[in-house]
Amino acid sequence: MPKIPGVSQRAAIAALQKAGFQIIRQSGHVIMSNGVRTLTIPRNSPINAYTMGNIAKQAGFTPDEFRKLL
């Protein structure tokens, strides 16, 4: 899995919101959905590079596409 290092939780949420994801609920994690896919974003800052790579993959983005949203 390609890594996406150095992404804060707020930047990841903002990038996903640009892509059409909305926050469903928040607690220890932030749960986001676009109606088809549901993602769990941890409240770590920065988010682990491997974790962020997996989140981008689950959202349907390549690492390069996700970096453009940041």
Q: pLDDT tens digits, residue range 5-14?
A: 888 999 999 9
pLDDT value of position 1: 55
Per-residue pLDDT, averaged over 19-35, amounts to: 94
Whether 3 has a pLDDT exceeding 80, the answer reads no
Average pLDDT along the chain: 90
> Domain 9-69 in CATH: superfamily?
Hypothetical protein. (3.30.920.30)
CA-wise closest residue to 2 among 42, 52, 38 = 52
5 φ, ψ (degrees, to nearest 5)? -80, 155
Given this model, what pLDDT does residue 34 score? 93
| pLDDT at position 2 over 70 | no
